[in-house]
Amino acid sequence: MEPLLIAEGSRHRGALSDLAFDLVARSSGFSRSLPNGVRVALADLVRSMNCYYSNLIEGHDTHPIDIERALRNDYSQDQRKRDLQVEARAHIEVQRWIDGGGLAGRAAATGSVREVHRRFCELLPDDLRWVEDPETHERLEVGPGELRGRDVKVGTHVAVSPGAIPRFLARFEEVYRSSGRTDGVIGIAAAHHRLLWIHPFLDGNGRVARLISHAMLLDALDTGGIWSVARGLARNVAPYKEHLARCDLPRRSDLDGRGALGEEALADFTRFFLETCIDQVAFMESLVEPDRLRARILMWAEEEVAVGNLAPRAGQVLSAILYRGELPRAEVAGLVGTGDRHARRTVAALSELGIIASDGPRAPLKIAFPATLAPRLMPGLFPERPT
pLDDT digits (tens, 9 = 90+) for 265-306: 999 999 999 999 999 999 999 999 988 999 999 999 999 999
Q: Does domain 13-287 have CATH number 1.10.3290.10?
A: yes
What pLDDT is stored for residue 127 in this prediction? 92
**3-state class of 67 per DSSP?**
helix
pLDDT digits (tens, 9 = 90+) for 331-370: 999 998 888 899 999 999 999 999 999 999 899 999 999 9
What pLDDT is stored for residue 134 in this prediction? 81
177-201 b/e (C-beta count within 10 Å ≥ 16 → b): bebeebbbbbbbbbbbbbbbbbbbb
Helices 64-71, 36-57: axis angle to 10 degrees equals: 110
Domain 290-377: top CATH class: mainly alpha
C-alpha separations of 246 from 25, 82, 191, 271 in Å: 30, 36, 15, 14
Band of the pLDDT at 254, cuts 50, 70, 90?
Answer: low
Share above pLDDT 90 across residues of the chain, in percent, rounded to a whole number: 82
**Whether 381 contacts 374, CB under 8 Å:** yes
pLDDT digits (tens, 9 = 90+) for 41-98: 999 999 999 999 999 999 999 999 999 999 999 999 999 999 999 999 999 999 999 9
Can you state the percent helix, strand and coil of the chain, rounding each to 5?
Answer: 60, 5, 35
The chain-wide mean pLDDT, for the chain, equals 92
Range list for CATH 1.10.10.10 in the chain: 290-377
**Structure letter (DSSP) for residue 372:** G
Range list for CATH 1.10.3290.10 in the chain: 13-287
Angle made by CA atoms 310, 315, 317, in degrees to the nearest 5? 105
pLDDT digits (tens, 9 = 90+) for 134-181: 878 899 999 999 999 999 988 888 999 999 999 999 999 999 987 556
**3-state class of 114 per DSSP?**
helix
